[in-house]
Structure formats: C-alpha cells, structure tokens
C-alpha cells in the first residue's frame, strides 16, 4: 500500500483524530487552570494573577510554540472529523431497510460531527471576543492600571503596573497645556521615556477586566473600554450551552481515542472509560461555572 493510500485511509484519519483529540484534552486542562484564577482569587490580587498568566502565555517561547500547535490541532481535528464523516457516508450511501443505530452506538458517537462543528463555531466566536482583541485588534488593549487616592489632595490618579512592581502615573503619558507627555507606550506594553529614549518598564494587558466586563462586571474605572456588557446574560447562556456540547463531545471522544490507538485492553478500558466520563463532565462544568460566578458577582 502506498504512503498516500495510508494517509488517506480511514484508519490513518482515526489515528490522527485520536492523537489531536487527546492533545486538545491536555490543552483544556491547562486552559482551565489558568481561567480558574478569575474566580479563585478576588480583587486586585486576582486581576494581577490573571494578567500575569495571560502575559506568560503570550510571551514564553515554549508556550507560543505549543499555542500554534494547538491551533493546528484544532483545525486538523475538525477537518479530519469532517472527512471521516464524509468517508463513512460514502461507504454506505444507501441506508439499510432496517436500521437501529442505538443498538450499536451511543447517541454521542452518532452526533460527533455535529457536536464537533458546533464546538468549532464556538471557538471562533470565543477567540474573536478575547484572543483577537488581546493580540491583533486595531484598538490597543488597555493596560493593567490601578486607581489610588492622593492622601493630601484627595484626588484619584491612575498608575500603570510594571513587571518590576513599579508604578508609573498615567498622567505622564498624557499631553497637557504645559507640554507634551514625557512617556509613551510602544509595542502595546512597553513604557518609554521620550526625552532620554529609555525603556522604563513593561506593563500587562488587562485581559482580566476585559473578560469580567464581557460577562457583566463593570470595570470602567480602569478604562471606558471595560463597561459591563449589556448582553452579558446571553453571553453566559451561550458559553454554558457550548460547554454542554463540549461535554457531550468528550463523553464519547475521550474513550474512543484510546480505542482508535489500540489501547483498549479489557483490564484497563473500564477505568479509562470511567475517567473519560468524569473528565467529560467535570472539566466543561468547571469552565461553565466561571462565567456564571462572574455574572452573579457583578
């Protein structure tokens, strides 16, 4: 059998589906651990922790490589699933006179292509709301800023937080009738002194405030961009429904991946199946609770 025939066979597609699917399960765990900081830590501590996590995920070289691998895995997993569904359909173009699919496969197994397509649509929407705004939006992402009150004047002023735990007044970046701003922001996060042309530090993009504002919390004290989303309830419902779809997809997909790879020994498979069902319930449930808690605490 030629190499091209092997790569185009349904067996090869199932192997690739299994491998990319299990890799994406690992990604889900890592992504969940990062997102849990939105609810496990509160106030400025939680905001700082999540923004530091977001910075690390977008600047660490190894994580960046893993991110691109994740994007490719999502695309490959989706395309491979569609091709498998088409191939299976062509293999049996005429339905049997008597057809009882429930006797041979679960509902989740028969709807994997539909569930997977729904998840792909959600991923595109999800990334456009957060990832795209974080990295490529034409409007610069507001940086992590805290508001403090001057004990003498009683007036509030904004301070940018730097990675060295120093603070730079936001007024230094603003033009006044007395002259031009002394500081400027370059490359989205870098603070530069315009007069001596020296980098004074680097800040964090405020993804935390963007996220909680999207799910209903008003953080406009840091930037007008972070006003509470007036469609927050709809966003929460859509997110929870997407996690339900993900749960159904994982319910069959997790254990099926091990079977596709030939790791279905009768001694281990019951344990793998049980773990897969727990994973399919607990991970999406934890994801779903995050926007619900944010919305309820607005």
Residue 89: per-residue pLDDT:
66
Model confidence, pTM: 0.82
29: CB partners within 8 A, 6+ apart: 283
Within-domain flag for 212: no
Q: DSSP secondary structure string, 114-131?
A: HHHHHHHHHHHHHHHHTH
What average pLDDT does range 29-45 have in this prediction? 93
Within-domain flag for 79: yes
Confidence band (pLDDT; 50, 70, 90) for 2? very low
Q: Are residues 129 and 264 in the same domain?
A: yes
Q: Are residues 149 and 267 in the same domain?
A: no
Average pLDDT, the chain: 84
Residue 88: per-residue pLDDT:
65
Within-domain flag for 101: no
Q: Are residues 53 and 175 in the same domain?
A: no
Within-domain flag for 208: no
Q: Are residues 68 and 166 in the same domain?
A: no
Confidence band (pLDDT; 50, 70, 90) for 94? low
Lowest mean pLDDT segment, chosen from 73-87, 116-130, 147-161? 73-87
Confidence band (pLDDT; 50, 70, 90) for 152? confident
Q: Are residues 16 and 45 in the same domain?
A: yes
For 29, the token pair is 């765990």
Within-domain flag for 188: yes
Within-domain flag for 98: no
Give pLDDT tens digits for 53-87: 999 988 888 888 888 888 888 887 777 777 776 77
Q: Are residues 156 and 131 in the same domain?
A: no
Tell me the torsion sign for CA atoms 252, 257, 258, 260. Answer: positive
Q: Are residues 282 and 135 in the same domain?
A: yes
Residue 254: per-residue pLDDT:
83
Confidence band (pLDDT; 50, 70, 90) for 168? very high
pLDDT of 106 strictly over 70:
no
End-to-end CA distance of the chain: 61
Number of domains in the chain: 2
Q: Are residues 53 and 113 in the same domain?
A: yes
Residue 79: per-residue pLDDT:
77
Q: Are residues 127 and 161 in the same domain?
A: no
Query: % helix / strand / coil in the chain, to the nearest 5?
Result: 60, 10, 25
What average pLDDT does range 12-20 have in this prediction? 78
Tokens 């301070």, residue located:
159
Q: Are residues 179 and 132 in the same domain?
A: no
- The domain containing residue 150 runs over which residues? 145-203
Of 2-6, 82-86, 147-151, 213-217, give the range with the top mean pLDDT. Answer: 213-217
Within-domain flag for 213: no
Q: Are residues 59 and 129 in the same domain?
A: yes
Within-domain flag for 23: yes
Q: Are residues 133 and 149 in the same domain?
A: no
d(CA 182, CA 168): 11
């Amino acid at each position: 059998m030629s190499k091209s025939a092997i790569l185009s066979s349904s067996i090869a597609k199932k192997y690739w589906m299994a491998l990319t699917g299990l890799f994406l399960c690992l990604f889900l765990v890592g992504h969940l651990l990062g997102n849990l900081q939105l609810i496990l830590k509160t106030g400025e501590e939680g905001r700082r922790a999540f923004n530091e996590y977001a910075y690390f995920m977008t600047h660490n070289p190894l994580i960046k490589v893993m991110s691109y691998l994740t994007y490719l895995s999502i695309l490959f997993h989706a395309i491979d699933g569609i091709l498998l569904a088409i191939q299976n359909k062509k293999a049996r173009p005429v339905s049997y006179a008597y057809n009882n699919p429930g006797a041979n496969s679960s509902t989740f197994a028969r709807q994997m292509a539909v569930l997977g397509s729904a998840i792909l649509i959600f991923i595109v929407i999800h990334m456009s709301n957060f990832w795209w705004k974080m990295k490529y939006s034409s409007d610069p992402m507001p940086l992590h800023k805290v508001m403090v009150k001057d004990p003498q004047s009683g007036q509030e002023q904004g301070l940018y937080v730097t990675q060295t735990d120093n603070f730079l007044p936001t007024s230094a970046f603003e033009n006044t009738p007395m002259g031009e701003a002394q500081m400027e922001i370059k490359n989205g996060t870098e603070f530069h002194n315009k007069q001596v042309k020296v980098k004074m530090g680097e800040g964090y993009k405020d993804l935390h405030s963007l996220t909680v504002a999207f799910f209903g919390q008003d953080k406009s004290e840091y930037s007008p961009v972070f006003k509470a989303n007036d469609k927050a309830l709809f966003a929460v419902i859509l997110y929870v429904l997407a996690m339900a779809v993900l749960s159904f997809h994982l319910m069959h997909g997790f254990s099926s991946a091990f079977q596709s790879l030939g790791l279905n020994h009768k001694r281990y498979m019951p344990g793998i199946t049980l773990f897969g069902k727990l994973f399919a319930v607990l991970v999406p449930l934890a994801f779903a609770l995050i926007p619900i808690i944010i919305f309820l605490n607005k």
